[in-house]
Structure 1
Amino acid sequence: MTFAEAGFPGEDARTSATLVDLVRRDMDPSRRGVLATGLYSAALMVPSFSDLGDRLDRTDDDVKAGRTVRVGAGEVVTVQRMTDHIATILDDLGGGHARPMAAAFLANTVLPWLDADAKGRVKSDLLAAASDFVYLTGWMAMYERAHGLGQRYFVQALDLAKEGGDQITYCRTLRGMALQAASLKHASKALDLADSAAEAAPAAGPRLVAFLRGQQAHGAALVGDRHRAFDRLRETEEALSKADGRNDAVGGYDQAAYQFHVSSVLYALGDLSGSIKAMQQSNRVRPAHERQGRLHSNGLLASRQWELGHVDAACATWDRFLDDYTALSTSRGDEHFDTLKKHVATRRTRSVRQLGERAREIARQKAAA
């Protein structure tokens, strides 16, 4: 199946025009519901980085007559700083607040700049920065369970990365697509995308190698390949041990992320107790400011503790989940909250009753807000 057949832009499509249409619809309240429920395509074919053709390399003679706007290095830095800023807002307030800001910045600032005059190097740098920002926007849409929308943003990020010659963002976006496929139970697709991401970055640094190998380990576990999953985890740990102390706001990878992958692999392979221990370790080493990630990991941890029959421990974890949930606007958090409510409806112990009372009060507060 080609990009066009799957409903995505082909090589002959103009990335900017397609992205304009996508962002405009994302910002239109009357269309947002349609976009959010748009179909995710597990059949989407993703070509390799080297197969995507010539990169965009326009000169002043190529641009439309009468254009007056010109961008420079300052605009590139602005997009990069906004990417970090939106990532911080995502952690502090949740995707429900951060993604509309991202869509507005894309529509009002990034898209006009992409259509402006620029020297060759600046144009490539701007495309690369825009690709990273669009990838983050797709990541937030995925976390808000708007999977069709998230996939479309990811495809646009791939095209922008190709046009800007940004191989790192290209493979990082493929890794995000692998995570999305995994969350939607498309095991083989998750592994294929994770492998494609690794193949797209043959000269990656150790932190990015760890980032990609961890996703390959999860993909292998999802298809039941135990040997390969643990081999990939060993490679992940080895690469991470060689990484420097810097961790990017977007696409970063650290010990908390590694232990999260260990937990995901063990859970996929049926080791419930081991997955719980690894998730607890992930929480212990997670930076304090990563509220969004902590909320998600606590939601998973509590569900697994409940599944194992450790009800009191699950209630304690759900309490920590609620500490973050009250401050975040997040559809992924809402999904975990729904699981919490189902759990408390099935038991009548003291800890469960107390948790249920707190959950009901928080539900009333959020409904009133």
Structure 2
Amino acid sequence: MFLSRRSAVTAGLFSVALTIPNWPDVVGRMEMVRRGSSPRMGMSDVETVIAMTERISELDDQFGGRHARPMAAAFLVNTVAPYLRADATDAVRKAMMAAASDLCYLTGYMAVDEGLEGLGQKYYLKALELAGASEDHLTYCTTLRGMSVQAVDLGHGSSALRLANSAASASPQAGPRMRAFLAGQQAHAAAQSGDTSDALRYLKEAEAAMDKAESREKSFGSYDPASLHYHISHVRYELGDLPGAIDAMKESDKLCYEIYRRSRVKERATLAEFQIQHGHLESACATWNQALDEYSLVKSGRVDRRMQRMVGMIRPHLENQHARSLYERARTVIPPSLLA
């Protein structure tokens, strides 16, 4: 059930204003999307944007943001922006703004994947603006969570937790899968912030919600057991439980759908980092080799950073045959600019 426009732009969004630096008030911002001279827009145009967003998302999952984001950005400028200015009924205009919000969120996510953090935030803020104006509750909460993911990846645990909590508070009637999606991120952010009790409480909520969601239906393309185990792994890592983090990340890798190549490469590299920190050098080398198997197919700044870290972490161990073999292979696969 969606919030009314007034509640979305006042009660819910007001709490967000406290968590995002320089948050532009979205009250009245829908008027910024003015009607232009474009042809009349219909629901078929909305469906085109939705379908295009789904296809771009699939490309992002398989090949990384550096491949897919330019396509999304061009589609936003050349197609979606004129749609937003076109003549339409209120219902169609609202649906188009919701579709545009989802595409802005995806484009921001891909910008962050490239390592363009500031650009990603700009797209996220535009997604929030359009979601609030169109009463698109799902994209609104998803975008806040995406901003929390960005913050936690940058090591800003307190900001990540505030954003994750804002996403959860703006979604009081979320279904079990959405609740797991939000609580898993709350758990990760709380753990990074050093709040052990809340991290474990949120993680328990995520696990219970996922059990309910999985008992109702299997859902491809949304928060799933692999994603939950990813969060379990990071919570355990932040709390100092390396063996638990390794086990959970292995389970996440085992459950990961084939289409999610970028996530698989990144998370295998993360698993290898956990393994080498735990003193399991040869296991780490084997896992890194698995990541390298698909690395050349993925164009992602986040994955590139993982590969840079891999090279730095194995250099002290080059007397070991497995580490030396991995290092030599990496030099043939990873761009020289990342090896410097």
Whether the TM-score (by the shorter chain) exceeds 0.5 is yes
Q: Which segments of 5 or more consecutive residues in structure 1 lack a partner in the other structure?
A: 1-10, 12-41
Aligned length, in residue pairs: 318
Residue 266 of structure 1: how far off its partner (Å): 0.9
Deviations 1:64-86 (Å, cap 9, x if unpaired)?
Answer: 5xx24211101111111111101
2:115 equivalent to 1:145: yes
Aligned residue for 1:242, secondary structure, equals: helix
Q: Give the Cα separation in 1 of the matches to 2:175 and 2:335.
A: 48
2:324 equivalent to 1:350: no
Other-structure match for 2:185 = 215
Q: Which amino acid aligns with 2:284?
A: A
Q: Which amino acid aligns with 1:108?
A: N
* Among candidates 136, 142, 166, match of residue 196 of structure 1: 166
Report matched runs for 1:73-152 at 5 Å.
Answer: 73-152=43-122
Q: Which amino acid aligns with 1:268?
A: E
* Among candidates 40, 44, 47, match of residue 21 of structure 2: 44
2:219 equivalent to 1:247: yes
Residue 343 of structure 1: how far off its partner (Å): 2.3
Residue 46 of structure 1: how far off its partner (Å): 5.0
* Among candidates 16, 27, 50, match of residue 53 of structure 1: 27
Residue 56 of structure 1: how far off its partner (Å): 3.8
Percent identical among aligned pairs is 44
Q: Give the Cα separation in 2 of the matches to 1:308 and 1:333.
A: 22
2:306 equivalent to 1:329: no
Q: Give the Cα separation in 2 of the matches to 1:195 and 1:58.
A: 29
Residue 364 of structure 1: how far off its partner (Å): 5.8
Q: Give the Cα separation in 2 of the matches to 1:147 and 1:327.
A: 23
Residue 125 of structure 1 contacts residue 164 of structure 1 at CA under 8 Å; is this kept in 2? yes
Residue 55 of structure 1 contacts residue 164 of structure 1 at CA under 8 Å; is this kept in 2? no
Residue 113 of structure 1: how far off its partner (Å): 0.7
Other-structure match for 1:33 = none
Aligned residue for 1:289, secondary structure, equals: coil
Residue 58 of structure 1: how far off its partner (Å): 10
Residue 144 of structure 1: how far off its partner (Å): 1.2
Higher helix fraction: Structure 1 or Structure 2? 2
Other-structure match for 2:198 = 228
TM-score of the aligned structures, taking structure 2 as reference length: 0.88
Residue 213 of structure 1 contacts residue 233 of structure 1 at CA under 8 Å; is this kept in 2? yes
* Among candidates 122, 125, 135, match of residue 165 of structure 1: 135
Q: Which amino acid aligns with 2:241?
A: D
Residue 228 of structure 1: how far off its partner (Å): 1.1
Residue 337 of structure 1: how far off its partner (Å): 1.1
Q: Which amino acid aligns with 2:43?
A: A
Residue 65 of structure 2 contacts residue 114 of structure 2 at CA under 8 Å; is this kept in 1? yes
Residue 195 of structure 1 contacts residue 216 of structure 1 at CA under 8 Å; is this kept in 2? yes
Residue 307 of structure 1: how far off its partner (Å): 1.1
Aligned residue for 1:276, secondary structure, equals: helix
Residue 268 of structure 1: how far off its partner (Å): 1.1
Q: Give the Cα separation in 1 of the matches to 2:327 and 2:121.
A: 36
* Among candidates 232, 237, 245, match of residue 262 of structure 1: 232
Aligned residue for 1:158, secondary structure, equals: helix
Q: Which segments of 5 or more consecutive residues in structure 2 lack a partner in the other structure?
A: 1-8, 10-18
TM-score of the aligned structures, taking structure 1 as reference length: 0.81
Deviations 1:61-120 (Å, cap 9, x if unpaired)?
Answer: x845xx242111011111111111011101222111111111111111111111111110
Residue 53 of structure 1: how far off its partner (Å): 3.2
